[in-house]
Structure 1
Amino acid sequence: MEALGAPGAGAAIALENLFPPLPSEVILPLAGFTASQGGMSLAAALVWTTIGAVVGAWLLYGLGALLGRERLHAIAGRLPLVKVSDIEKTERWFERHGAKAVFFGRMIPVFRSLISVPAGVTRMSQPMFLLLTTLGSALWNAIFVIAGYRLGENWERVTDLVGVYSKGILAVVALAVVAFVVYRVMRPGAGKRRV
């Protein structure tokens, strides 16, 4: 982190948006710890990690916009157990709750990255998307960078605590996916393909 500096921390967070297995819960507290040791300023760590988060999210927004509704529907039509009507319901939900989803989604592991794609598909206003992404990312980043800064050499305690939160979120998602698959397979007429 000292070698990369604050711009490097921002680049790592941009990559974390594109490749969710890279954990921001490790990068951010480590940036805070590095700032506490004088390797960068706390303000630079906060600014650059937020810039990185916004850049990564904006690239995924662009991917969603490039994909578009028709392609998304065509892909959904080919997936087992998924119907185009599922995607349409998700789009309608996003059009009603998109602003909240983008802002609060920045604080939920995995969704932090994925929420940018439906924003692009539904062509959410880019200025609004960028504003909500900046605010949500700045809040999330500040919590972890400042925690790493204050904990100093014990910065790894942050990752231990957040690991429980992340695992809880992933467990809920896994249960929801299993419930969805069981529902689709077990319901009457499941063998018939409907669009």
Structure 2
Amino acid sequence: MLDWIKTVIQSIGYPGIAFLMIVENIFPPIPSEIIMPFAGFVTEQGELNFYGVVAAGTFGSVVGTLPFYYLGHKIGEDRLKRWADKHGKWLMLSSSDIERAQGWFDRHDAAAVFFCRLIPGIRTLISVPAGIKKMNLGYFLILSVSGTLIWVGLLTYLGSILGQNYDKVSEYLDPVSYAVFGFIILSYIIHIIRHK
């Protein structure tokens, strides 16, 4: 997986980073924790500009959240819960998950969008309750961009300070990323079996 991420970033540059971050939001096994540090490392090689990398990563990440925002906005809470109860097992999503997310969003509102953009695993999902509550799209984007900018900037900076040691780190990251991907697939299979 790491080799594929490297190839996309090195051959396509900024659009490749944006593409990977869009995909990362929709298909979480491709983590931003691998994409952005490598992109930061590439800035140290002089191939890409640090600020351009952060801008591309932020843009891609925010664009990747919009389908989830519109899903919540267009479908609404009741229909989404009914759908989750009927088909959500395939996405490991239930109506009670939606209720919990909605309750958390109701208590924290704008802060939920900002801070959740900094937390792996729920960075994208917070978009659904924001859409359900019909949060103003402009306000949602400002909060999403602000939180994402901090997260992407931090990961890019960490990759840039790794400098020449990134190749050594990647020797460990690649097996770990495959292990994480395998764990996610295994968890998904177990979840499906249990629901059948």
TM range (shorter): 0.7 to 0.9
Does 2:15 align with 1:7? yes
Shift of 1:125: 1.6
What amino acid maps onto 2:115 in structure 1?
A: F
What amino acid maps onto 2:105 in structure 1?
A: F
1:151 and 1:77 map into 2 onto residues whose CA distance is 45
User: Secondary structure of 2:123's match?
Assistant: helix
Moved more, 41-50 or 57-66: 57-66
What amino acid maps onto 2:69 in structure 1?
A: Y
Q: Is the 8 A contact 1:6 1:31 kept in 2?
A: no
1:45 match: 53
Unpaired segments of 5 or more residues in structure 1?
175-195
User: Secondary structure of 1:124's match?
Assistant: coil
State the TM-score, normalizing by the size of structure 1. Answer: 0.72
2:43 match: 35
Shift of 1:91: 2.5
Change (3 A) 1:123 1:25: same
2:6 match: none
1:102 match: 113
Unpaired segments of 5 or more residues in structure 2?
1-8, 188-196
1:55 match: 63
**Alpha-carbon deviations, 1:104-132, whole Å to 9, x = none?**
11121110121111211221121111011
Change (3 A) 1:21 1:83: closer
**Identity across aligned pairs (percent)?**
39
2:78 match: 70
Q: 2:135 aligns with which of 124, 137, 146?
A: 124
**Alpha-carbon deviations, 1:24-43, whole Å to 9, x = none?**
00100010011111111111
Structure ranking higher in helix proportion: 2
Shift of 1:57: 1.2
Q: 1:155 aligns with which of 157, 166, 170?
A: 166
User: Which protein shows a greater Rg?
Assistant: 1
User: Secondary structure of 1:98's match?
Assistant: helix
1:56 and 1:111 map into 2 onto residues whose CA distance is 13
2:119 and 2:110 map into 1 onto residues whose CA distance is 15
Shift of 1:76: 4.8
**Alpha-carbon deviations, 1:70-127, whole Å to 9, x = none?**
21232355579x9967755642431231212211111211101211112112211211
1:37 and 1:83 map into 2 onto residues whose CA distance is 46
Change (3 A) 1:52 1:90: closer
What amino acid maps onto 1:40 in structure 2?
A: L
2:4 match: none
Change (3 A) 1:84 1:23: closer
1:31 and 1:89 map into 2 onto residues whose CA distance is 35
State the TM-score, normalizing by the size of structure 2. Answer: 0.72
Shift of 1:62: 1.3
Q: 2:151 aligns with which of 140, 144, 154?
A: 140
